[in-house]
Amino acid sequence: MKLAYFGINFGACADPDVAARVAQAAEAAGLESLWTGEHVVLPDPQAPPSPSPPEVPFLDPAVALTWVAAVTKTIRLGTGIIILPQRNPVVLAKELASVDVVSKGRLIFGIGAGYLKPEFDAIGAPFDHKSARTIDFLDAMLALWTMPKPAYEGRFVRFAGVQAFPRPVQQPHPDIVMGGHAPEAFRRSVRHAQGWYGFALDPGATAAGLEGLRAAEREHGRPSHLGPLEISITPAAAISAATVRQYADLGVHRLIFYRPTGTLDDTLAVVEQIGALGR
């Protein structure tokens, strides 16, 4: 089981000094990866389905991962997740290729389609056809990362006669991890990603998600070049050896633990608790 920490760019870790200390502690404790969340803006006042009070600070994922990459050497760095339909895919491809270069090949590209309409409205991004935009934007990014002479003609993105260097260190590109619990998210995962990320799921919801992924694979097939689908979960369960065993028995490959904290000491204690599970 790979063990990881979620929240390296918000809450207590929105303080760069705290984020640096936490990242170094996570690497020393043997954690496999660190993960960001993303909300460019949050509804004010908070209203369902918004997950956080509007005052919670979120550093941009690429900025935060670049910062912690500079103070670590081996721990992997995941976006968990970037809301892809809100982004310009050409600009994002440059930003994340840069993260992969400065981290010497440690990026994991986690993406989702998003669900907060007020956030889309504030950004000026369309809220319709989010799944189609997600895949179109992803394919455009992969063209920029992998094609000798990048060109792309999609429903929402098109370009030709351009270059975008540097390319990611990881070849052909960093691993793609899809978030989301809806049938469309399962289809995107099995058709387009190396992994699936389920957030805040108890064992029952995790089992249901895995069955949804199996059903999507039976219906839509999985391209052979993607290999086996890696399963990452932020568990709605205690940080304990029993939790690790329970999710491992379900077929989970990575647990990305999250516990809200307000101070450096509290966050370091959580990281140490996670690391102890691997020793």
Band of the pLDDT at 77, cuts 50, 70, 90? very high
170 Cβ neighbours under 8 A, 6+ residues apart: 100, 105, 107
**Is the per-residue pLDDT at 279 higher than 90?**
no
Domain count, the chain: 1
Q: Which domain holds residue 70?
A: 2-277
- For residues 54-59, average pLDDT: 96
Q: What is the C-alpha separation between 31 and 106, in angstroms, rounded? A: 13
The domain that contains 256 carries what CATH number? 3.20.20.30
**Is the per-residue pLDDT at 13 higher than 90?**
yes
Report the pLDDT value the prediction gives residue 50, as an integer from 0 to 100. 94
**Is the per-residue pLDDT at 68 higher than 90?**
yes
Band of the pLDDT at 212, cuts 50, 70, 90? very high
Q: What angle do the packed helices 89-102 and 130-146 form, to 10 degrees?
A: 50
Helices within the chain (DSSP H only): 16-28, 61-69, 89-102, 117-123, 130-146, 183-192, 203-220, 241-250, 264-277
CB 196 within 8 A of CB 229: yes
Q: What is the C-alpha separation between 226 and 195, in angstroms, rounded? A: 9
Band of the pLDDT at 29, cuts 50, 70, 90? very high
pLDDT digits (tens, 9 = 90+) for 150-171: 999 999 999 999 999 999 999 9
Average pLDDT of the chain to the nearest whole number? 97
**Is the per-residue pLDDT at 38 higher than 90?**
yes
CB 172 within 8 A of CB 141: no
CB 102 within 8 A of CB 69: yes
pLDDT digits (tens, 9 = 90+) for 219-248: 999 999 999 999 999 999 999 999 999 999
Backbone angles phi, psi at 235, to 5 degrees: -80, 140
Report the pLDDT value the prediction gives residue 180, as an integer from 0 to 100. 96
**In terms of Cα–Cα distance, which of 110, 36, 34 is closest to 73?**
34
- For residues 11-28, average pLDDT: 98
Q: What is the C-alpha separation between 35 and 23, in angstroms, rounded? A: 10
Q: What is the C-alpha separation between 258 and 35, in angstroms, rounded? A: 10
Band of the pLDDT at 72, cuts 50, 70, 90? very high
pTM above 0.95, yes or no: yes
Report the pLDDT value the prediction gives residue 53, as an integer from 0 to 100. 95
- For residues 178-189, average pLDDT: 97
- For residues 207-211, average pLDDT: 98
Burial of 67 (0-12, 13-18, 19+ CB in 10 A): middle
Q: Count other Cβ atoms within 10 Å, centred on residue 48.
A: 6
